[in-house]
Chain A
Amino acid sequence: MHPAFSVIFLTTLIGAGQGLFLALFTGQFYSMANLIPAQDSITFYALGSFIVLVLLGLGLFASFFHLGHPERAWRAVAQWRTSWLSREVIALPAFMFLVFVYGISHYFGWNETLFVVGQNVEIDATIIIGIIASMMAFVLFICTAMIYGCVKFIEEWHHWLTVANFTLLGIASGFLLAAAFSAYEGIELVAFYGTWAVIFMLLALATRLASLYRNARLKHKSTPQTAIGVRHTTVIQKAQGFMGGSFNTREFFHGKSGSTLRVVKITFLLLVFILPVALIAIAWSINSPVLPIAAFVLHYAGLILERWYFFAEAKHPQNLYYQSMA
């Protein structure tokens, strides 16, 4: 497939946004259970929610660039019964609204205790909104990943590992951003978020390596024989019917060489997983406030390459009909 940068930015930005929100709420949950110190409502939760909204908003803005008629984009909610893209178009604004309410309720300090669970766990409105928003974050991860995963002909994508990769990479980038945010604000949660970021990065590394392994060994169901229905062992296309390019020759192929793909693959594995884990480990041992930020910057650059590779590695069966330029 041809990787579209608007969609690459969309999915990486909203993935980081969703992950950052889950990190913030995890922090609130842990502080509610008195496992970590409670953070300031305005400088941590409200500002963090604002950053989440900025990331989601930028992603949404980027997504308009992949449409031919962005002014009609509102119509995209119509087919939520059958289309995962439609469901994502509903889930994304819903999640943004919930994050906005969460941030606003922290900013205005609407955190009077509503009821108490057990002996001393106080539940307030922000906790309830946070739980609903966290569920919506997972719904959004699933909707985004299933846009690609539900197309059963693109066999590289049609697997549960696609959903796992989108979710784990989003959460990992979000927790890493939370560690960078904490380092920047001088908050003592860098180790907490850094540790969770490393855990999620290692989990994401496992699932991403599994999907790379699976895709390398994939034997496609469609062949030139099934494509034109001629049952001979040797069927080769001699002419695709035109000499110039067409939508079919541009949209479904990345246009780069095999060696470029290999370089991109090694680079993203390094930038998304290896380097950030190493930098977080070094930052923990020497107590550096700058390395977590550097780790996130490298990680995000690597995520762009990882998403590019995700699109480039997919082989569409329609390419069987466009093999020979003659």
Chain B
Amino acid sequence: MSQLALVIDLNVCVGCHACVTSCKEWNTSGWAGSMVDQNPYDADPTGTFFNRVQTYEVGEFPKTETIHFPKSCLHCEEPPCVPVCPTGASYKRKDNGVVLVDYDKCIGCKYCSWACPYGAREIDEQQKVMKKCTLCIDRISDESLPPSERKPACVLACPTSARLFGDVHDPDSEVSIAIREQGGYQLMPEWGTKPANHYLPRRKTILKIHEDELHRVDNPLLEELEVPVDEGAAIDDVAF
């Protein structure tokens, strides 16, 4: 069974919100209907978004690091939102592990959002059903799109390639390699939800330069000399 998921590289994310906008656009103009946006140009806007980018600060000012943190449904391998749904509208697909909501069965009781420790589920105040990131299931299973575009909208929109998409159960996939080699981790592991989305940690690349690398050790005079080279006559020497 494959488990499709995203790997989000916090080392590269610049917090541009391109993934937020592209996700909102794709899911608003797709077949599932528009996502609610109330008072978008007025004083108190609110709406439903599947993906949000947050900003955290590590350390005490002025010695701080800024982390931009995109958050969407983590498509857990043991999703706590699935067993609590009374109608069975919340389900996890057996073939690719994507956790989805059936909008025709959902009664909007909000129990699944209580059961998600990550706050990944939101209610659409107009349609009155619970919605969340679908991993663009309508894109990735659309045979009419070219294979390079059969990825979630957020992955295609990210300008720094901070979002990777693939099968975390396949050890040779791009995401599995990133998790293995770059220390990919899960959020809130204490709850045992086994989220499939992983995050790659922030890591500064440091190049350590040693003193003796700045000087040539094979120079006996410890000076840099111009070594004369006899090249013979050049054209400048014979031309008039």
Cβ contacts under 8 Å, A237 to chain B: 54-57
Q: Which of B110-132 contact A (CB under 8 A)?
A: 110-111, 113-119, 122-123, 125, 127-130
| The residue from A69, A230, A318 contacting B56, defined by CB atoms under 8 A apart | A230
Which of A35-43, A184-192, A220-228 sits within the interface? A220-228
Asked if A270 is at the interface (CB within 8 A of a chain B CB), the reply is no
B47 at interface, CB cutoff 8 A: yes
- Shortest CB-to-CB span from B195 to chain A, Å, is 11
Whether A240 and B199, one on each chain, are in contact in the complex, defined by CB atoms closer than 8 angstroms, is no
CA distance A82 to B80 in the complex (A): 11
Interface readout for B191-231 with A: 1 if CB under 8 Å, 0 if not?
10000000101100000000000000000000000000000
Which one of A75, A77, A82, A241 lies within 8 Å of B20 (CB-CB)? A241
Chain A residues in 8 Å Cβ range of B202:
230
Write out the residue numbers on chain B whose beta carbons fall within 8 Å of the beta carbon of A69: 106-108, 128-129
Would A321 and B86 be within 8 Å (CB), given that A69-B106, A237-B56 are in contact?
Answer: no
| Interface range for B | 35 or more
With an 8 Å Cβ cutoff, the count of chain A residues facing the other chain is 58
- Residues of A close to B71: CB separation below 8 A: 241, 321
Q: How far is the CB of B237 from chain A (nearest CB, A)?
A: 67
Would you give the 0/1 interface string for B82-95, flagging 1 where the beta carbon is closer than 8 Å to chain A?
11111111000000
Minimum distance in angstroms from A89 CB to a CB of chain B: 6
- Pairwise interchain contact A66-B58, C-beta atoms closer than 8 A: no
How many whole Å from A65's CB to the nearest CB in chain B? 11
CA distance A251 to B53 in the complex (A): 20
| B105 adjacent to chain A (CB < 8 Å) | yes
Residues of chain A within 8 A of B55, CB atoms compared: 237-239, 241, 326
Q: Is A154 an interface residue (CB 8 A)?
A: yes
Q: Does A219 contact B (CB under 8 A)?
A: no
Contact for B87 among A78, A147, A236, A240, CB less than 8 A: A78
How many CB-defined contacts (below 8 Å) exist between A and B? 177
Bitwise, B30-71 to A at CB < 8 A (1) or not (0) is 000000000100001111110011111111100000110101
Determine the chain B residues whose CB is within 8 A of the CB of A66 once the complex forms: 109-110
Q: Is B146 an interface residue (CB 8 A)?
A: no
- The answer to whether the Cβ of A288 comes within 8 Å of any Cβ in the partner chain is no
| Inter-subunit contact A251/B56 (CB<8 Å) | no
| Nearest CB of A to B90, in Å | 9
Q: A72-B87, A246-B122 are in contact. Are A229 and B187 (CB under 8 A)?
A: yes
Residue among B49, B66, B82, B111 having the largest count of chain A Cβ atoms under 10 Å = B111
Q: C-beta contact mask, A151-163 vs B, less than 8 Å → 1, else 0?
A: 1111000000000
Residues of chain B lying within 8 A (CB to CB) of residue A76: 86-87, 107, 109
**Bound Cα distance A76, B89 (Å):** 10
Q: Are A85 and B108 in contact (CB under 8 A)?
A: no
Distance, CA A43 to CA B44, complexed state (A): 56
User: Does B188 count as interface, using CB distance less than 8 angstroms?
Assistant: yes
CA distance A136 to B126 in the complex (A): 38
Instruction: Note all chain A residues with C-beta closer than 8 A to B26.
Output: none
**B84 contacts A82, CB within 8 Å?**
yes
A-B contact list, 6 entries, CB within 8 Å: A82-B82, A83-B111, A84-B84, A151-B84, A228-B56, A246-B122
10 smallest beta-carbon distances between A and B, as pairs: A68-B108, A68-B128, A318-B119, A82-B83, A244-B45, A76-B86, A241-B52, A75-B87, A239-B55, A86-B86
Q: List 15 additional A-B contacts (Cβ < 8 Å) besides A78-B86, A230-B201, A246-B49.
A: A72-B105, A75-B89, A78-B105, A83-B85, A151-B114, A152-B80, A153-B117, A222-B191, A226-B189, A230-B202, A241-B20, A244-B45, A247-B48, A247-B125, A317-B188
Q: Chain B residues in contact with chain A, CB under 8 A?
A: 17, 20, 39, 44-49, 52-60, 66-67, 69, 71, 80, 82-89, 105-111, 113-119, 122-123, 125, 127-130, 185-191, 199, 201-202
